[in-house]
Amino acid sequence: HQSSTGREERRFAEVPRESIKLMAESTGVELSEEVAALLAEDVCYRLREATQNSSQFMRHAKRRKLSVEDFNRALRWSNTETVCGYGAQDALPFRPLKEGELFFVEDREINLVELALATNIPKGCAETMVRVHVSYLDGKGNLEPQGTVPTAVQSLSEDLLKYYQQITRAILGEDPHLMKVKSVSHDLDQLNRLLHMVKSLVQNPYLYLGSYVRSLVSSVMYCILEPLAASINPLNDHWTLRDYAALLLSHIFWTHGDLVSGLYHQILLSLQKVLSDPVRPLCSHYGAVVGLHALGWKAVERVLYPHLPAYWANLQAVLDDYSVSNAQVKADGHKVYGAILVAVERCLKMKALSLTLAAEGSSAGLPGTTTGAVGFRENSPGLSPPPEPLSEPPLGIASHLQAGGAGCQWEEWTPVSLPAMYCELYSFFGDSLAVRFSTDPPLGGAPPPGPCQPLEGRKEPASSAPNLENTRKMPQLTASMNISPRQDGSPRMEPQPPSLAATVPGRSLSRSSSSSSVSRSRSSSSRPGRSTSQSRDIFPKSRFPLPQAGPPAFSFIIGGRQMGRRCQGRRFQTSFTPTPPLTTLPPRAYAHKLPVIGRVSKPVRRWTCSHYSLHLPL
Amino acid sequence: MAAVQDGPMELDTEKETKPEILSDGTSKLSGNTASGTLSSSPLTAGGAPKQEDQQTLIAVLQFLRRNKLSESVEILRREAGLEDQEDSQTLDGSGGGKGDRDGGEANSLLSRVSITSAAAPQSTLTPITVKRANEQLDVSVVLSAYSQQGDPSLYQVYYSGLKNFIESVLDCHRAELSQLFYPLFVHMYLELVYNNHENEAKAFFEKFGGDQECYYQDDLRVLCGLTKKEHLKGNEVLLDFRTSRFVLRISRDSYQLLKRHLQERHNNQIWNIIQEHLYIDIFDGMPRSKSQIDSMSGSFAGEARREVNKVKVFHGLLKEPEIEVPLDDEEDEAENEEGKPKKKKTKKDSMGSKSKKQDPNAPQQNRIPLPELKDSDKLDKIMYMKESTKRIRLGPENLPSICFYSFLNAYQGLTAVDFTDDSSLLAGGFADSTVRIWSVTPKKLRKVKSAGELNLIDKESDDVLERIMDEKTASESKILCGHSGPVYSVSFSPDRNYLLSSSEDGTVRLWSLQTFTCLVGYKGHNYPVWDTHFSPFGYYFVSGGHDRVARLWATDHYQPLRIFAGHLADVTCTRFHPNSNYVATGSTDRTIRLWDVLNGNCVRIFTGHKGPVHSLAFSPNGKFLASGSTDGRVLLWDIGHGLMIGELKGHTDTIYALKFSRDGEILASGSMDNTVRLWDSTKAFDDVETDDFTAATGHIHLPDNSQELLLGTYHSKSTPVTHLHFTRRNLLLAAGGYSSQ
């Protein structure tokens, strides 16, 4: 085993005496420091010698890569036992352990049963054969050889040329084929490398990409959408790759979208095509969804939303299939489901925000109204509020929307009103959607830390001037928090400190709401406010749409008209009485069964907890 | 190992008359002693080399005595005048015995060690004798050379003193004297290591290791890992470094300068090393320039001594038949049928008239016995003639077409390729120890019928040759299994009846291409055999391997006929001269040696490569040699003058294939960098002016004209070029294994 550790040794690498001692101890020999030092040195030398000898076998086999076999030959000729167990042709990944300075050769466990029962019997090696395939007639032929520097590069100065070579080598490694994405679709590492390369290309401010944007986009799109060969193995984390690629796509679009006309439309079209193609595997759909998500809420609204009804049926079918053979597909389905959920949520929030902003534009002078207009439920946070009643009103609307929504093409897309949208979406996702709006932690992966702190700090200054406002606001904050019931099965529970439940229940309206809840509600709203300085001011106003996106679905139904007519008009706010333990249980059982998926078909208990109070914050 | 090597010697001693051979050997030895002292006489205090020779002689005596060859002992002793030394030697011998015990494991390695440089130009038999002696003497004698103690702490002072001196001398001398740095550095380092001054050695290396020329990096890397005396014993490379003397060529002026300096400073340590381990080849005339020196240095043991390359080499081709070969095919055939043309491997019509006169450089027709031409050979010659009339004349304006034979699905396992001369068959050696043969033409490969079936056929029929073939076995390719390790080279016999393959398992195998079975396994190397090559006339072949010797074999002898010993490291490639009288070998010690098949002497040593030599090619006229190495350079050599005449730079990786076109106008080189490059060899040979001075001194100014000589670079599709072959019509065939990575 000493040799096996040393195979990777570099020119001046040394085996420390500690290793020697360890190895000796493992065989039950106690070595003194001195002996270990001597031995370590000798081992180093012998390893080096064996490595040097083995390189000879490599050279004569006319290879560039030193193989384990070469090393073993060298050992054999020097009458040393050979190293067994590393004979595989593929490269052994040599990985560091993040914790501690431990390096090891990855040795995955092989499930023999699976292997034995596999239905696809691997084909044997193809027969070695000889083919005549490159000819240079009269020394002319193909004079533009593969693998040389492209003509565009030849005009560069020498320094730049060197740089170019370094770069290409660094990126491509030994593989000139990397440029063709398709050729490496089996290798996630290489795809990742490729994406990083694209990223650095895109981010380089000195680089004019021009028409290359299109090809870059197509490469990235490939990573997002195609059922990569690597996806076949469920162990491969191609999801992350797709996420990253989607992010990259949006980045390209935002930074270089102007270079290619119609790029946005093109991308949307292709994403839509994938989404509407039921034959595509789920991972492609997932890619399409994350792609849309990354392109912004408008894209989601325009493409994903209209398609959802049609798509939902397929997804539902997959998710409802509990057969074992479907397990993998179902897992993929959940992925897609999750992605849609996130996309839709963001879409709703952003839409709401945009509406607010628009509204705010008209009612700029009336900050108080916006803040006060927010409809929030008051509730004792310790208890899980039953979402069912919330969903009740939408039902009717959703049913009518569904018909129109399904056939909706994005070309003839007409903006759907926010409540309608929410209703429809709720019909798909049920409580899991609703939950997201209350407990929602940093969405889009960007909990802006900036806004957070000002918020924290705000407590003190708040007392000075806008004290009044502050008090008004607080109820909303608490409301947003209290909705988050742990029992809901929402995956994002953990950020909420348990103490919260204890502190809040007594005084739901008090300003003592913990800062964590503040930041949470804040974070969801902060995104739209692009300029950070502004966001501080916007925040209180933006709270108006915020709740409206989530639980307010309900409040809107009641008070929506008014909002439409006059912005600062009265709002109805509902609050649940802290009674409904009754209702908590059924949903939980349901949630247990299908933790994240809401269903329309679920019989809704109406008014179970139903004494709504109309509350006027102003 | 040793036992096996004894084999051939015993065999030969039985065959030939012992006293004659041995006295021949000894006379040579004593001659060498003389020349050795002569050449080292400029060093004045030349006691050491003489002593070394004497020890060699004593060792020979010991060996003879042990083998009860008392008669030879007497003769040898008389000739060498060693009577008086005998007593002292017995003492010495016991000391040697101790060394023998000490270096128990070193012994097995030493047995492979060939001979000291003093004994290099000797017949194949003597090296073996000397070798036996070395087994006993090497460790004690050679290592004892280091036993003289100097103050280890002063080594740095010595070295830096010399360094300062050399840096302060005139420019013209500095380049020459700078050659001293590397050998001195290595010897001083080894001396420190040998005397267990580990820390001083490390410090010494640290301080001066960076100063050495970049082409010594590989050696230095080996060196830096070596810090213990015990390690020294097992390391063959370094053992050789000490046994052989590092050769430097220095002009007389520079040498005087150095000598004066060292004497003034009483720098005995360095002086001793120079005397004992270096061989300074002094010449009169202008000191050489840095570029001149650099082009020649780089090998393990410095440059070749000038006198080594002074032996006359008969590089001409064997005589064409007496009657001029007419250009017409009919007449051509007629003459061949008369059976007159004995052999004519190479050239054509244009040369036809010249061939009437005896080429002054050609060896005698019967200098080495060559096989008689069979009828089938004559038929083949006729075919050859016909084909060559249709040959395309190549030149810078008229480059050959290239066909690339890719081995698919070889899984990086293709190690060697060969084409038959008529380009009808293709053989590949693989790392999985198989040899595969493909028919390049539509004609399928067929086996001869089994013995029982052969009895049934009508032997009188005209088409008996056709009838003996078994149609059922016809296939495009055949697999030959028999080796137990990767096959490192394959070579077709000129008559296409046999195939040779050499392998890691230490054997060379001869396969029949009639039955596709193994006929003989030639054992002798006992270590991986890197290369083997058939003589252009068949019958003989040469092989070279990890045991640092090349061996000459005849297909009907199971023991080698000659052992060419002298390389300081593995023999990596071997080639026959077109006239079959010489063999060229390239080695990991970065030298190329040319050996005389007749007497086994080394007649040329070419230094200048900076990496292991992996390919060799003789020009069709036999005058030039091209060699390619891991450093990506092709060097061209004039065999007659023993000079380097060209350097072709362009490849970026090891060159594994070299081939001259049939007329010698184009040199094709194929490399690991996936390219085939074509070079204008005519221009390369013509550009060099070999006036008397350069010929005499061997100092040549290489024009840096690689770019002008490069006629074309052709890329393959990620396929390293393993072999190149010109068809008889000058179409270039290249072959290699496609590697997807």
Question: CB contact, 8 Å: A56 with chain B?
Answer: yes
pLDDT at B698: 62
Average pLDDT of every residue of chain B = 76
Helix (H, G, I), strand (E, B) or coil at B661: coil
Using the 8-state DSSP alphabet, how is residue B210 labeled? G
Average of per-residue pLDDT across B565-570: 89
Does the distance separating the beta carbons of A48 and B225 come in below 8 Å?
A: yes
pLDDT of B94-129, one tens digit each?
333 333 334 333 333 333 333 333 333 333 333 333
CA atoms within 13 A on the CB side of A335: 22
Of A252-261, B63-72, B509-518, the least confident: A252-261
Burial classification of residue A29, based on how many CB atoms lie within 10 Å of its CB (0-12 exposed, 13-18 middle, 19 or more buried): exposed
Within 461-500 of B, beta carbons closer than 8 Å to A belong to 477, 485-486, 488
pLDDT digits (tens, 9 = 90+) for A268-294: 888 888 877 777 777 788 888 888 888
Three-state SS for B110-132 is HCCCCCCHHHCCCCCHHHHHHHH
Confidence of residue A178 (pLDDT cuts 50, 70, 90): very low
Cα–Cα distance between B304 and B552 in angstroms, integer? 23
Q: Tell me what the mean pLDDT of segment B510-536 comes to.
A: 92
Are A210 and A259 spatial neighbours (Cβ–Cβ below 8 Å)? yes
Structure tokens at B243: 């046994």
Tell me what pLDDT residue B456 has: 83
Q: Tell me: pLDDT of B687 over 70.
A: yes
* A482: confidence class by pLDDT, cuts 50, 70, 90: very low
| Mean per-residue pLDDT, A225-230 | 69
Quick one: average pLDDT of A228-254? 75
Q: Are B715 and A56 a contacting pair at CB < 8 A?
A: no
Q: What is the pTM of this model?
A: 0.58
- Least confident span in A31-40, B106-115, B694-703: B106-115
**Residues B188, B192: Cα–Cα separation, whole Å:** 6
For the cut 50, the answer to whether the pLDDT of residue B46 exceeds it is no
* pLDDT greater at residue B9 or residue B394: B394
pLDDT at B298: 81
Q: Which of the listed ranges A5-19, A239-253, A585-599, B515-529 does the model predict with the highest average pLDDT?
A: B515-529
What distance in Å separates the CA atoms of residue B694 and residue A149, rounded to the nearest whole number?
41
Q: Which of A150-159, B11-20, B35-44 has the highest mean pLDDT?
A: A150-159
pLDDT of residue A194: 74
* Preferred mutation among A130, A142, A144 to probe B, highest tally of B CBs within 10 A: A130
SS3 B642: coil
Pair A519, A459: CB distance under 8 Å:
no
Give the pLDDT score at B470. 84
- Give residue A274's pLDDT: 80
Cβ A282 vs Cβ A399: under 8 Å:
no
> pLDDT value at position B469?
85
Task: Extract long-range pairs of B208-212: CB within 8 Å, 24+ residues apart.
Answer: B208/B156, B208/B159, B208/B160, B208/B163, B208/B181, B209/B185, B211/B163, B211/B181, B211/B185, B212/B181, B212/B182, B212/B185
**Cα Dmax for chain A:** 94
Comparing A47-51, A394-398, B167-171, the range with the smallest average pLDDT is: A394-398
- For Cα atoms A257, A262, A266, give the angle at the middle one, nearest 5 degrees: 100
**Mutate which of B715, B722, B727 to test chain A, going by most A C-beta atoms within 10 A?**
B715
Q: Which range is least confidently modeled, A81-85, A587-591, B619-623?
A: A587-591
Kindly report which listed range (A559-563, A587-591, B223-227, B669-673) carries the lowest average pLDDT score. Answer: A559-563
Answer whether residue A265 shows pLDDT above 70: yes
CA atoms of A465 and A612, how far apart (whole Å): 33
Question: Please, which pLDDT band fits residue B68 given cuts at 50, 70 and 90?
Answer: confident
Quick check: B402 pLDDT over 80?
Answer: yes
What pLDDT shows up at residue B661? 92
What's the whole-number mean pLDDT along residues B173-178? Answer: 85
Taking one residue from A and the other from B, the number of pairs with CB-CB distance under 8 angstroms is 144
- Name the residue among B406, B408, B720 with its Cβ closest to that of A62: B720
**pLDDT at A474 > cutoff 50:** no
* Reported confidence tier of residue B585, pLDDT bands at 50, 70, 90: very high
**How far off is chain A from B96, nearest CA to CA, in Å?**
25
Tens-digit pLDDT profile for residues A494-534: 444 444 333 334 343 444 434 444 444 444 444 443 433 44
B731 touches chain A (CB under 8 A): no
pLDDT band at B306 (very low <50, low <70, confident <90, very high): confident
Nearest CA in chain B to A124: B409
DSSP letter for each residue of B458-497:
-TTSTTHHHHTEEEEEEESEEEEE--SS-EEEEEE-TTSS
A84 alpha-carbon distance from chain centroid: 41
Distance CA B552, CA B576 (A): 10
* Residues of chain B contacting residue A65, judged by C-beta atoms under 8 Å apart: 412, 741
Could you say which of B399, B408, B588 has the minimum Cβ distance to residue A128? B408
Paired tokens of B13:
């001693």
- State the DSSP H helix or E strand holding residue B546, giving kind and residue range, or none if neither: none
Please give the torsion angle defined by the CA atoms of residues A284, A286, A288 and A292, in that order, rounded to the nearest 10 degrees. Answer: -170
Residue B488's alpha-carbon distances to A333, A617, B429, in angstroms, are: 54, 90, 7
Query: How would DSSP label each residue in A542-553?
Result: HTTHHHHHSTTH
pLDDT at B206 over 90: no
The C-alpha atoms of residue B292 and residue B700 are separated, in whole angstroms, by 7
Chain A contact present for B612, CB below 8 A: yes
> Pick from B398, B409, B712: which is nearest to A129 by CB?
B409
Q: What is the mean pLDDT of residues A200-216?
A: 69
CB contact (8 A) between residue A59 and residue B488: no
Asked if A150 has any chain B CB less than 8 Å from its own CB, the reply is no
pLDDT of residue B544: 94
Tokens 């008996």 sit on residue: B464
Query: Which 3 state secondary structure label does DSSP give B12?
Result: helix
Predicted local confidence at residue A453, as pLDDT: 40
Measured between CA atoms, the residue of chain B closest to residue A126 is B409
pLDDT, average across residues A154-173: 58
How high is the pLDDT of residue A432? 67
Q: Tell me the pLDDT tens digit for each residue of B255-285.
A: 888 888 888 877 777 888 888 888 888 888 7
Whether the pLDDT of residue B507 is over 70: the answer is yes
Task: Tell me if B622 sits within 8 A of B578, measured CB to CB.
Answer: yes
CB proximity A144 to B under 8 Å: no
Indicate whether A330 pLDDT > 70: yes
Q: Does A530 touch chain B (CB under 8 A)?
A: no
> pLDDT > 70: what percent of chain B?
75
Residue A489 has pLDDT above 50, yes or no: no
Predicted local distance difference test score (pLDDT) of residue A137: 58
Residue of A nearest to B588 (CA): A56
- Rounded mean pLDDT, B195-221: 81
Distance linking the first and last C-alpha atoms of chain A: 77
Task: Decide if A10 touches B, using CB distance below 8 A.
Answer: no
pLDDT on residue A431 = 65
Q: Distance (Å) from the C-alpha of residue B407 to the closest C-alpha of chain A?
A: 5
Average pLDDT over residues B281-304: 81
pLDDT at B10 over 70: no
**Local structure of A289: helix, strand or coil:** helix
- Distance between CA atoms of B354 and A354, rounded to whole angstroms? 98
Contacts of B416 in chain A (CB under 8 A): 62
Q: Average pLDDT in the A528-556 region?
A: 39
Distance between CA A500 and CA A515 in Å, rounded? 10
In the prediction, which pLDDT does B709 show?
87
Kindly state the average pLDDT of the residues B543-566. 92
Crossing angle of the two packed helices A532-542 and A449-464, in degrees rounded to 10: 70
- Dist. CA B624–CA B643, nearest whole Å: 10
Closest CA to B467 of B457, B477, B476: B457
Lowest mean pLDDT among A159-168, A404-413, B649-658: A404-413
Q: Is the pLDDT of residue B347 over 60?
A: no
Identify the band that residue A189 occupies on the pLDDT scale cut at 50, 70 and 90: confident
More confident residue, A231 or A104: A104
pLDDT bucket at B503, cuts 50 / 70 / 90 = very high
